Amino acid sequence: MIPSVPDDQGMGREGFGLVGIEALALRTPVVGYADGALPEVLGACAVLVAPGDRRALGTAIAQVITDGALREDLVQRGRARYEACYRIETTAAIMAAHYGAAAATGAGPTRRTRSGRGRGRRSV
């Protein structure tokens, strides 16, 4: 369960949702509020309810506990999403491909002078 609730200033929302990803990796069904990055990170692998709706959150928790087919479906989809998107080996391969593509094009960071104007593209 990821019950993140923002305060009056909007702080406290679930950012990237690392706890959710850990749950997917450990084959644990996830229930939480559809807020912050959770809908994007977890997709259809979790039961997400309207932010702040405690009644819906409780209902969703009870449903996942009592509905074995739903629970197993969430576990299977969650593990597949973890394997496809969030395993460290997958993430490293994607990053290596991006770095390789950038190196092949000669793209690199732009050096800045003290005035803030760029001096052209150069590897740093």
How is the chain split into domains, by residue range? 18-121
Residue 1, number of CB atoms within 10 A of its CB: 16
Chain-centroid distance, C-alpha 102: 25
Say how far apart CA 101 and CA 8 lie, in whole Å.
Answer: 44
Give the ranges where the chain is alpha helix by DSSP (H).
18-25, 38-42, 54-66, 68-81, 88-105
Tokens at 95, concatenated: 């990053």
The pLDDT profile of the chain, 124 residues, written as one tens digit per residue, is 665 666 777 666 666 778 899 999 999 999 999 988 899 999 999 999 998 899 999 999 999 999 999 999 999 999 999 999 899 998 899 899 999 998 888 766 655 556 555 555 544 4
Say how far apart CA 45 and CA 20 lie, in whole Å.
Answer: 10
Structure pTM?
Answer: 0.69
Among 3.40.50.2000, 3.20.20.100, 3.40.1280.30, 3.50.50.100, name the CATH number for the domain at 18-121.
3.40.50.2000
